[in-house]
Chains A and B, each alone.
Chain A
Amino acid sequence: MSFTAGASYSAAIKRPIEPVGPYFLAHATRTLKGHSWSEYEQIEASKNVVNVEEKDSDEALFDESISDPELLSHDPRDWKTCDLYAALGLSKLRVNATPEQIVKAHRKAVLQHHPDKKSSAGGLDQDGFFKIIQKAYETLLDPSKRRQFDSVDEAADVTPPTGKFTVEEEFYSAWAPVFVAESRFSNKQPVPQLGDANSTKDEVDSFYKFWNNFDSWRSFEWLDEDVPDDTSNRDHKRYIEKKNNNSRKKKKNDDNKRLSDLVKKVQSDDPRIKKFKDEEKAEKARKKWEREAGSRKAEEEAKAKAEAEAKAKADVEAAAKAGKEDAKKAKEAAKNAKKKNKRAVRSAAKDNDYFGDASKAAAIDADIDLLIESFDDVLLGEIAAKLKGANADAAKVIFVEVAAKQTADKKVSSLTYFK
């Protein structure tokens, strides 16, 4: 594996080349864009691939064979009642078939169904289907005739679903194809489609706005009764024409009504509309809530204040009540204590056997009663405490002392025993 270089090759000559032809353009592109050969080859190669794919894409959309075998035996005189798209093998494309595709499909159909081919295969003069193919081709290539046919092309219609849907998704999947099919009649393109649960409110609104004002090109000339072309009976001809006109108008009105009913039904069933209404309500409430936020706060404050005041008042009242009760209780306790003290004081003499002077018991008791009468509550308590546990002598001393003090204070007089 080696390369041995020899001499260099002869010098080149500079000449102008002729600026014509596809290869010159390729050369110019290469030179101006600075592509090298291999880059250029790559670009060209990728272009070719696209071309091939484009070529194949049409073929795949055509029917493999005649979709409806009845067509083959259809009376060519009644060709208007045929499915013209199916005759050309375009039953999948229908209204979406481009004129180029129609030409292509026609060529394919002719190659297959030409009477020459059929008769050579043993059949007799069965050129009925071929006549239908030719009629279909003529009709579908003429834009106005094609519209007439498309208007009444039942095979392209989608039957609207009936009944209600419990699952929301089912509603969309059932109705969407209906609107796709109806879209073909719209003068305005593109046509807004049904969408799904995630569609925005604007989308849904514009969808219903569009469909409620649907501008349809659908017309019903195709179903006209044949107008006799002989000139023999002009009146009859006019009569038929008038009848056709009226029937077209009627059908058109019926169709408009059908579509508007359809849209109304969908609109009333649309779960999104309900959803949007609920959302709207919630939103409204929220807005109102926000709008009233200021006044509500003031109210709250006032309420809190009132509550606080009420509470304070209650507290005060409760405290007062409690105080009163306490006082009452204290009073009672004091009363009880007084009673107890009085009893203790009164019984002090008796308990100490009247200090040995039992004969003078009546006088002592009368004096003690007088003394007790003269005591205030405090003194009574003190005396009662002093007397508690005191023996007879000590008790006598306590009585004498207190009698002397009370007498001195002129709180008691006429004591007989403790003078």
Chain B
Amino acid sequence: MATIGIAFGNSTTSFATIKDGKVDVIANPDGERFISSALSYVDGDEYHGQQALAQLVRNPRSTIVNFRDFIGVPFTDINAENSKYAAHPVELNGKVAYEINGNKLSIEEIVKRHLKQIKNAAEDYLGQSIESVVITVPTNFTDIQKEDLIRISNDAGLKVKQLINEPASALLAHLSNKEQFLEDKLYVVADFGGIRSDAAVISVRGGIMTLLATEHSTKLGGQELDEALIDFFATDFTKKFKADAKKTEKSYSKLAAAAIITKKTLSNVQSASVSVDSLAEGFDYMSSINRLRFELVGRKIFSEMNQFIESLVHKAGLETLDIESVLLVGGTSNIPKVANTLSLIFPESTEIIAPAMDSKLPNPNELNCRGAAIQASLIAGFDYDEVKESLSPIVVNTEHISSPIGIKDVDGKFLTILPRETAYPIKKSISFETTTSNVEIQFFEGQRTIKETVLEVEKFSDDEDDEDEEEEAEIVKEVEYIPGTLLGKMVLDGVTSGSKVEVIVQINKDGKLHLTARSGSVVVKGEVSQSA
């Protein structure tokens, strides 16, 4: 019996399992690791994945794509824009359905068939039946949508043990991969998908993740880039042959399929060619495009991505300066330009985690399903009731401290022990060597300030014919915490210089802050309460 993690997306679905302690992203029988979430019904046959997507050119009306977001949503509330060149959604009992060969197939039936295909592929690969699954969902999935998804998945034979949020899943995959759980950091998890983008600010404190803000956009994603590229090629085609490649649905779909491949190729190489036989009016189209051109074509979309992330950070009441790491997720994050433009809005100290920055990283499109697989294996030892119990509000809803707590070091600077947004109960300790005897330790709450450092521009002495261009001095901003409110003071008598001092900060369930300083046999304890 195996457990798998499924990342069910609008454009692609992928699934993974843990094998010998390593995450294994499973390929379907066609060899795809990112299985297109598409179903096509032609001549009584069902096509799934890439095979179904290929039917978009010839049988667009019997090919269903981008249906995940329609789960559990009333027909009146949907945006059918993304189904323009495929089967159109119709109404059935107030919900979404598709009319295929005269039969109305409800969205639930479609999702069920899709998940069944996934189940078969997974069971074929693993050679054993699937016991339970963990599925990722966007953070703005409503409870009704979640319930519907669980029910449909159970009907399809995949018993759902837990639904987890996509950004948390991606971050779990990243942290497990890097073994960085215990580094307290603020992350932005930016998921640029096919037809939508989602991002979240997540604080990681003592291995516990907390969502601070989320942002969603259905107007931003790989499809926008595809369209920009299609427009570019179509204009080029018109210029060359005086024919419109977007006039018919068929020619549009042909060009779209070629453009998508070209876009993906450009993520890895500097230039790519595009070639479509008989694109429109019998003309073959053949052209090539380099990465720079593509980045120019998509410039508007890339800058929208920056705005999207900036608005998210502001929503969390933070500045981009506060963010320590940005984790890029989703197929579109493969594009090097996405990582490059994002690095412009963050300070240099912020780490951008994307394949463009570190080629050893796993494919960003895999992160969601990897996290789900890791979670699935973590909870494999628990039964359904235990998992349900651990998701109850009493466990999940936790108090988080609003300001960092730390001590003042020798230089008078604030030394963080518990960073802000740390969930408690928690216990953390640091240790240092004293330089004086009879140590005094002062406990503070940190106060956030922005430190500005002016970097002097180096003057080139040999550059005599310097024009009048006044080179502006660069100002580097960084967030710095300074000692704010004094929480308590401790004096350790009889401690010799050079001995080790351990400072333990602990917040109990009841919110009481316990401070302990210890050096050898000298122990001082104190207690600070929380203001109401």
Interfacial residues, chain A to chain B (CB-CB below 8 A)? 1-32, 36-38
Question: How many angstroms from the CA of A17 to the CA of B421 in the assembled complex?
Answer: 11
Partner of A22, one of B181, B389, B508: B181
- B399 close to A14 (CB less than 8 A): yes
Question: How many angstroms from the CA of A5 to the CA of B525 in the assembled complex?
Answer: 11
Interfacial residues, chain B to chain A (CB-CB below 8 A)? 162, 164-165, 168-169, 172, 175-176, 181, 202, 206-212, 371, 374-375, 378-379, 389-391, 393-403, 405, 421, 423-427, 443, 445, 485-494, 506, 508, 511, 513, 515, 522, 524-532
- A21 close to B485 (CB less than 8 A): no
Quote the shortest CB–CB distance from B250 to chain A (angstroms). 44
- Nearest residue (CB) in B for A2 is B491
A residues less than 8 Å from B212 (CB atoms):
15
Question: How many angstroms from the CA of A36 to the CA of B485 in the assembled complex?
Answer: 28
- B506 close to A10 (CB less than 8 A): no
- B489 close to A4 (CB less than 8 A): yes
In this complex, the member of A20, A24, A26, A37 whose beta carbon has the largest number of chain B beta carbons within 10 angstroms is A20
Known A18-B165, A30-B425; judge A9-B487 contact (CB<8 A).
Answer: yes
Partner of B395, one of A5, A11, A13, A31: A31
Question: How many angstroms from the CA of A24 to the CA of B61 in the assembled complex?
Answer: 46
- A20 close to B395 (CB less than 8 A): no
15 contacts between A and B (CB under 8 A): A2-B524, A3-B524, A5-B487, A6-B487, A10-B531, A13-B400, A14-B397, A14-B400, A17-B397, A21-B168, A21-B375, A28-B390, A28-B395, A32-B395, A37-B426
- Nearest residue (CB) in A for B207 is A23
A residues less than 8 Å from B423 (CB atoms):
15, 17, 27
A residues less than 8 Å from B176 (CB atoms):
21
A residues less than 8 Å from B405 (CB atoms):
9
B residues less than 8 Å from A21 (CB atoms):
168, 172, 175-176, 181, 207-209, 374-375, 378
Q: Which 3 A-B pairs have the closest CB atoms?
A: A23-B207, A3-B526, A28-B390
7 further A-B contacts with Cβ under 8 Å, apart from A9-B530, A20-B375, are A7-B486, A9-B445, A9-B485, A10-B445, A12-B530, A13-B402, A20-B371
Quote the shortest CB–CB distance from A48 to chain B (angstroms). 15
Question: How many angstroms from the CA of A38 to the CA of B427 in the assembled complex?
Answer: 9
- A5 close to B528 (CB less than 8 A): yes
Quote the shortest CB–CB distance from B513 to chain A (angstroms). 6
- B485 close to A15 (CB less than 8 A): no
Partner of B211, one of A7, A12, A18: A18
Question: How many angstroms from the CA of A29 to the CA of B381 in the assembled complex?
Answer: 13
B residues less than 8 Å from A13 (CB atoms):
399-400, 402
- B395 close to A7 (CB less than 8 A): no
- B506 close to A37 (CB less than 8 A): yes
Question: How many angstroms from the CA of A30 to the CA of B425 in the assembled complex?
Answer: 10
- Nearest residue (CB) in B for A35 is B425
- B515 close to A3 (CB less than 8 A): yes
Quote the shortest CB–CB distance from B29 to chain A (angstroms). 29
- Nearest residue (CB) in A for B489 is A4
- A9 close to B401 (CB less than 8 A): yes
- Nearest residue (CB) in B for A26 is B207
Quote the shortest CB–CB distance from B390 to chain A (angstroms). 4
B residues less than 8 Å from A37 (CB atoms):
425-427, 506
B residues less than 8 Å from A36 (CB atoms):
425, 508
Partner of B486, one of A6, A10, A16, A29: A6
Quote the shortest CB–CB distance from A242 to chain B (angstroms). 39
Question: How many angstroms from the CA of A12 to the CA of B526 in the assembled complex?
Answer: 20
- Nearest residue (CB) in A for B529 is A8
Known A5-B526, A27-B395; judge A17-B486 contact (CB<8 A).
Answer: no
Question: How many angstroms from the CA of A88 to the CA of B450 in the assembled complex?
Answer: 64
A residues less than 8 Å from B486 (CB atoms):
6-7
- Nearest residue (CB) in B for A22 is B378
Partner of B490, one of A2, A24, A26, A32: A2
Quote the shortest CB–CB distance from A250 to chain B (angstroms). 41
Partner of A6, one of B393, B425, B488, B491: B488
- A6 close to B489 (CB less than 8 A): yes
A residues less than 8 Å from B508 (CB atoms):
36
- A20 close to B397 (CB less than 8 A): no
- B443 close to A6 (CB less than 8 A): yes
- A12 close to B401 (CB less than 8 A): yes
Question: How many angstroms from the CA of A7 to the CA of B421 in the assembled complex?
Answer: 20
Quote the shortest CB–CB distance from B10 to chain A (angstroms). 22
Question: How many angstroms from the CA of A29 to the CA of B489 in the assembled complex?
Answer: 34
- B168 close to A22 (CB less than 8 A): no
B residues less than 8 Å from A27 (CB atoms):
208, 395, 398, 423
B residues less than 8 Å from A32 (CB atoms):
389-390, 395
Known A13-B399, A15-B397, A23-B207; judge A3-B489 contact (CB<8 A).
Answer: yes
- B210 close to A18 (CB less than 8 A): yes
Partner of B525, one of A3, A6, A26: A3
B residues less than 8 Å from A29 (CB atoms):
390
Quote the shortest CB–CB distance from A260 to chain B (angstroms). 43
- A17 close to B531 (CB less than 8 A): no
Question: How many angstroms from the CA of A5 to the CA of B169 in the assembled complex?
Answer: 42
Quote the shortest CB–CB distance from B277 to chain A (angstroms). 47
- A12 close to B209 (CB less than 8 A): no
B residues less than 8 Å from A17 (CB atoms):
208-210, 396-398, 423
- B168 close to A18 (CB less than 8 A): yes
Question: How many angstroms from the CA of A11 to the CA of B426 in the assembled complex?
Answer: 16
B residues less than 8 Å from A1 (CB atoms):
491-494, 522, 524
A residues less than 8 Å from B489 (CB atoms):
3-4, 6
- B425 close to A24 (CB less than 8 A): no
Partner of A7, one of B162, B375, B485, B491: B485
Quote the shortest CB–CB distance from B373 to chain A (angstroms). 12
A residues less than 8 Å from B397 (CB atoms):
14-17
Question: How many angstroms from the CA of A16 to the CA of B485 in the assembled complex?
Answer: 27
Quote the shortest CB–CB distance from A372 to chain B (angstroms). 138
Partner of B487, one of A7, A14, A15, A24: A7
B residues less than 8 Å from A16 (CB atoms):
210-211, 393, 396-398
Quote the shortest CB–CB distance from A43 to chain B (angstroms). 14
- A23 close to B206 (CB less than 8 A): yes
Question: How many angstroms from the CA of A51 to the CA of B322 in the assembled complex?
Answer: 39
A residues less than 8 Å from B424 (CB atoms):
12
Question: How many angstroms from the CA of A28 to the CA of B162 in the assembled complex?
Answer: 15
- B403 close to A23 (CB less than 8 A): no
Known A2-B490, A18-B210; judge A9-B379 contact (CB<8 A).
Answer: no
Quote the shortest CB–CB distance from A287 to chain B (angstroms). 58
Question: How many angstroms from the CA of A15 to the CA of B317 in the assembled complex?
Answer: 15
- A11 close to B210 (CB less than 8 A): no
Question: How many angstroms from the CA of A12 to the CA of B528 in the assembled complex?
Answer: 14
- B488 close to A5 (CB less than 8 A): yes
- Nearest residue (CB) in A for B445 is A9
Partner of B402, one of A12, A23, A25: A12
Question: How many angstroms from the CA of A29 to the CA of B212 in the assembled complex?
Answer: 24
In this complex, the member of B396, B400, B490, B528 whose beta carbon has the largest number of chain A beta carbons within 10 angstroms is B396
A residues less than 8 Å from B525 (CB atoms):
3
Question: How many angstroms from the CA of A13 to the CA of B423 in the assembled complex?
Answer: 9
- A6 close to B485 (CB less than 8 A): yes
- Nearest residue (CB) in B for A38 is B427
Partner of A11, one of B374, B378, B530: B530
- A23 close to B443 (CB less than 8 A): no
- A8 close to B530 (CB less than 8 A): yes
Quote the shortest CB–CB distance from B531 to chain A (angstroms). 4
Quote the shortest CB–CB distance from B165 to chain A (angstroms). 6
